[in-house]
Structure 1
Amino acid sequence: MLIDFVFALTLLISLLSLTILIFKGMNCAPSSTLMFLLACFLFVTEANFRNRELDDSSIDFQILLRLGVWLLITTYTLVYYKRVFSLLLDVNVRFLTLFCIFCFISTIYSPIPVYTAVNSLVQLCFLIFAASIAINLDLTKICMAIFYMSILFHSISLILVPIFPELTVMEFWGQGEIGGTRITGLSGSANAYGQMAGLAIVITQYLRKKIIIGKLLYVSAILLFSFCIIASWSRTSIFIAIVGLFIIEKELVLKYIYHYILLSIFAVITYFMIFDVDDLLLKFSRNGSIEEILTFTGRTDIWAAVWNEALLSPVVGYGYASTKLLLPQIFETEWGWSTVTAHSMFFQSFFTTGFIGVFLLFSTLFIFLKLCGIIKDRFISYIFFLVVINGILESGIGGPIPNTLSFLFFLFYLVAIKKYNENTKG
């Protein structure tokens, strides 16, 4: 298949380029090299060039090539191993480190041990590489790398829409028929694609506020990312992006806060003088049904099935990434649709790693919340908000496999730890 060849060629070129960087980058420009490696790492992590069967847990060609890129980049950054492991053993990072280690230990009892072992090792690679970036790059350079990667990623995604619609577009059902389409881009999921576009919008605003990017580039990027997030029709991502902009532009929001309140009150009163609540809810429904909104697109049924099954192994769960195999066996809609993710960070973590994993992961989130209040960095606060709100309706950093959000959470959590340690020592 042509797309397989394109993907293989792209990653092989990436591997060759990265190998050259290993020998030359460190001495020439270590900072620029790490920014390039970060961009490559994120692109390879987010990009999906094939559609797999729901219950397919085999290690295919794409996964092997991804593993090659991940391992190569992580190995390169291990030249900083002393500082990396010092950070990972920090008292505020130990819960996160133990969570990743426990995920690997769960291989022992996982029903798909090879799949669990590979994905938990990848998760450890994510943590190590995130630590390497956090100790060597400041927040602005990290955001610059993500910004340029996002422009490339979304541009390629839009170019591929008319060429490979089966890969970049998904259909959703309305009242007994196709209700419309959503762009998934190279993410393979419309929600994941919208999440990346929303992140890019907030990063663009952050860089513009820092006067890092010019006006023309700023406007062009905002238009590109806004189109992508709307085309994905990811309602959660749109909401998070709007709140993210408010967080970044706090002074501007506070300056006109009373105008926003009065305008909102006027809009609400006017609306309800003409329409009713049901009409308002239907505006946000994808299939014209209020039930679709109230059940979070059927997520409540998934949560009930996951919760009941997880209670049978509440302490250690069924093993990291085990929902890939087990969830389709315990949940299926009346029309035959199933899923491999619990669509909730809490339920996903509880199902796969039990109370132990939930305690370690949510202890880390609690520390992250405290850090946001101490270091008072608005972008870091936005990342916390992104992780938590996304985790309500998606598995997010809980799995079922390491993903872009997992890595970004590791990265910016460790950046927050570094900032806190620097402030404390200072």
Structure 2
Amino acid sequence: MSEAAFSPSQANAQPRAVPTAANERLLFRFTFLAFWLLPVMGFTMPTESSTHSWQVLDLVKLVILAIVCFGGAFTLHANLGHRQFWRIVEPLLPFYVFFAWSFLSTLWSPLKSVTIFQCGGLAALLFFATSIGMIAVTQKNVSKILFHLCLVLLGSSFVVLLAYLIDPTMSGLDRSRIHTGGDGLIHPTAAGATASLGLLIPTLCHVIGKFSWAKKLFVPCILIHGSIVILSNSRTATGMAVLTIGFVLFWYSTNVGRAKVVAAIGVICFALVLLDPGFRLWSSTAGASAEYVTRGQSGDQLKGVSGRSEMWSAIWNEYEKALIIGHGYFVTSETGSLVVWNTRHNHTAHNLMLQILVSTGAIGFIVFGFSLVQSGLVALMLRRGNLFQHRLFVMAMVASVWYFGWAQLGISFMGPVRPESIVFFSLLGIVVGQASQIKTSTPAVNGDPARS
């Protein structure tokens, strides 16, 4: 399907109508407006106890969702004649089919308002990815998109860090409020994911993509995102950041650089033995580190993946009650509420595939799986492109490793609209947009990204 989507015959086909300059400007304005509006969807109104009443921020999020959904629909309709429109929409069709099935599940969802609202978030992200794909056809535009993406992540983490400096419990990074049933500005896991990606994306842009602006973001990213990663105490976010960033830095380093790293580790180990032969300092440091990692949890709790094994068992039992069609998009139980961890709530599955399975059933799971396969096939096309496109392919693959790890213990990019979902659909749009420029009948030509 991906080959057909970008076939030379289709590439040479005449568009139904020539897009006007005004429509082109509308496309750019919508894309970058959505960039800065969607991150607000990831915040919640800080409360000391659970509440079901509407808050001011809830109304703001509803307005933002309406702006992006209706604005996206209007913008894409205005650009139906754009030469890129069908080249971008066709490889994204499986995701649109999944959205249609998710919206249809409103008919049997016990929480119809939840399903409709979350479907609205999915529609907004798909319109966003489509618009990015339509403009991500030049190196300059790709550079601009990635630059804004880094700024959005930096801005989100800065807001959370500022809130923490004002009141740690209000920020959400203090997990004590969550344990008492309250909410912070953002969930610490979501804050950790934002910061983890905020460190990874600029690293990819600088080391692999060779974008000159990325190096200038290193200091603020390390200070702000690094602080959030530590304060959020999200083990998955920390682990995936260390794994992916460490791999990129080591793999793309020179042999001399790798030798320096190995030598530095050896010197540090030798110094520890020389200065602390009894390992007293090491023991105290290791104890503090272990306390940070375990978050005070027992061995049995850690073996149960911080209670997720209990959650997964309960969710699987609910899935068996609706094997084919599920319980409705973003609803994980037959009645709309489930008692887990001594709390009755519409809990998320804390696993991407299980979340899709229980909420949309086997039908939705198959469609979603096909969407991911299609996206992977489109990404593989970048390997046959020029040097810039090949670098984008590597960047996308490293990011996919991060998302694969994150999806094991969370709902990842298919959860509420948060920075991690914005990053995923941004990268998806870039990959589709660049793949649409590849002519399969012509050999790859090496090129270097515009240093803008």
Q: Distance in 1 between matches of 2:296 and 2:345?
A: 18
TM superposition shift of 1:149? 2.0
Gaps of 5+ in 1: 1-24
Report the AA paired with residue 225 of structure 2. F
Q: Would the alpha carbon gap of residues 122 and 337 (structure 1) be closer, same or farther in structure 2, given more than 3 Å must change?
A: closer
- 1:313 and 1:373, CA in 2 relative to 1: closer, same or farther beyond 3 A? same
Structure 2 residue aligned with 1:305, among 271, 289, 314?
A: 314
Q: Which residue of 1 aligns with 2:98?
A: 99
Aligned in 2, Cα 1:215/1:359: closer, same or farther, shift over 3 Å? closer
| Rounded Cα–Cα distance in structure 1 between residues aligned with 2:38 and 2:248 | 23
* 1:127-174 Cα deviation digits (max 9, x unpaired): 01210122113432211111222232222222222445443134447x
Higher mean C-alpha displacement, 279-288 vs 413-422: 279-288
> Which whole-Å deviations, capped at 9, do the CAs of 1:156-197 have from their partners, x for residues lacking one?
222222445443134447xxxx9999xx974x1111111111
Counterpart for residue 154 of structure 1: 157
2:334 counterpart of 1:333: no
Deviation at 1:262, TM superposition (A): 9.0
Is 1:419–2:415 an aligned residue pair? no
The separation in 2 between residues aligned to 1:311 and 1:145, in whole angstroms, is: 43
1:343-382 alignment to 2 at 5 Å? 343-375=350-382, 376=390, 377-382=393-398
2:280 is the counterpart of 1:245:
no
Aligned partner of 1:321 among 326, 330, 333: 330
Task: Name the structure 2 match of 1:17.
Answer: none
Distance 1:179 1:421 in 2: 45
Shift of 1:55: 8.2
- Counterpart in the other structure of 1:388: 404
Q: Is 1:98–1:360's contact at 8 Å kept on the other side of the alignment?
A: yes
For the 8 Å contact 2:196–2:225, the answer to whether it is kept is: yes
**Which residue does the alignment assign to 1:122?**
121
Map of 1:74 onto structure 2: 72
- Displacement of 1:32 in angstroms is 6.6
Amino acid at match of 2:93: R
CA separation in 2, counterparts of 1:93 and 1:133? Answer: 12
| 1:227 to partner: Cα distance | 1.2
**What is the SS of the residue equivalent to 1:322?**
coil
- Give the corresponding residue for 2:414: 398
- Structure 1 CA distance for aligned equivalents of residues 268 and 353 of structure 2: 36
**Which residue of structure 2 aligns with residue 45 of structure 1?**
41
| Kept after mapping to 2: 8 A contact 1:341/1:348 | yes
Q: State the alpha-carbon separation in 1 of the partners of residues 120 and 31 from structure 2.
A: 23
Q: Is the 8 A contact 1:171 1:180 kept in 2?
A: no
The one-letter code sitting in structure 2 at the alignment partner of 1:227 is S
TM-score by length of 1: 0.76
Q: Whose radius of gyration is greater, 1 or 2?
A: 2
Please tell me whether the aligned partners of residues 74 and 128 of structure 1 are also in contact (alpha carbons under 8 angstroms): yes
Closer, same or farther: CA 267–204 of 1 in aligned 2, 3 Å: same
Retained in 2: the 8 A contact 1:307–1:351? yes
Letter aligned with residue 417 of structure 1:
V
- Structure 1 residues 25-34 or 161-170, which shifts more? 25-34
1:61 correspondence with 2:72? no
Query: Residue 12 of structure 2 corresponds to which residue in structure 1?
Result: none
Q: Which residue of 2 aligns with 1:36?
A: 32
Q: Is the 8 A contact 2:173 2:184 kept in 1?
A: no
Structure 2 unaligned regions, length at least 5: 1-20, 383-389, 443-452
Residues 281 and 290 in structure 1, CA contact (< 8 A), matched pair in contact too: no
User: Are the structure 2 counterparts of residues 217 and 93 from structure 1 closer, same or farther at C-alpha, using a change threshold of 3 Å?
Assistant: closer
Letter in 1 for 2:438: N
Residue in 2 that maps onto 1:230: 230
Change (3 A) 1:305 1:53: farther
Distance 1:343 1:228 in 2: 21
Counterpart amino acid of residue 424 in structure 2: F
Using CA pairs below 8 Å that are at least 6 residues apart, which structure has the higher relative contact order?
A: 2
Q: Which amino acid in structure 1 is aligned with residue 351 of structure 2?
A: S
Cα distance, 1:28–1:55 mapped onto 2, change above 3 Å: same
- Contact kept in structure 2, 1:346 and 1:398, CA below 8 Å: no
1:199 deviation in Å?
A: 1.2
- Conservation of the 8 A alpha-carbon contact between 1:190 and 1:233: yes
Letter in 2 for 1:321: F
2:321 touches 2:334 (CA, 8 Å); kept in 1?
no
- Quick one: percent identity of the two aligned structures? 20
Q: How many residues align?
A: 388
Letter in 2 for 1:155: F
Q: For each residue in 1:95-141, what CA deviation from the matched residue of structure 2 results, as whole angstroms up to 9, or x when unmatched? A: 22211111001111111223312321331222012101221134322
Q: CA offsets, 1:180-230, max 9 Å, x none?
A: 99xx974x1111111111111122223444243275543233222111211
1:150/1:73 Cα in 2 relative to 1: closer, same or farther (>3 Å)? farther
Question: In angstroms, what is the RMSD of aligned CA positions?
Answer: 3.9
Quote the Cα distance in structure 2 between the aligned partners of 1:30 and 1:66. Answer: 17
Range with bigger deviation, 258-267 or 201-210? 258-267
Aligned residue in 2 for 1:15: none
Greater mean alpha carbon deviation, residues 28-37 or residues 348-357: 28-37
The yes-or-no answer on 1:292 pairing with 2:309 is no
> Which stretch of structure 1 is more off in the superposition, 223-232 or 285-294?
285-294
Deviations 1:252-288 (A, max 9, x none): 17765677679889999x99x988xx98976621114
Aligned CA distance change for structure 1 residues 423 and 54 (closer, same or farther; 3 Å): farther
> Aligned letter for 2:319?
A
Structure-1 separation of matches of 2:89 and 2:28: 27
Q: Distance in 1 between matches of 2:262 and 2:344?
A: 42
Mapping 1:257-276, distance limit 5 Å: none
Residues 347, 414 of structure 1: alpha-carbon distance in 2 compared, 3 angstrom cutoff: same
Aligned residue identity for 2:41: T
How far 1:342 sits from its partner (Å)?
0.8
Q: Do the aligned partners of residues 66 and 28 (structure 1) sit closer, same or farther apart at CA in structure 2, a change above 3 Å counting?
A: closer
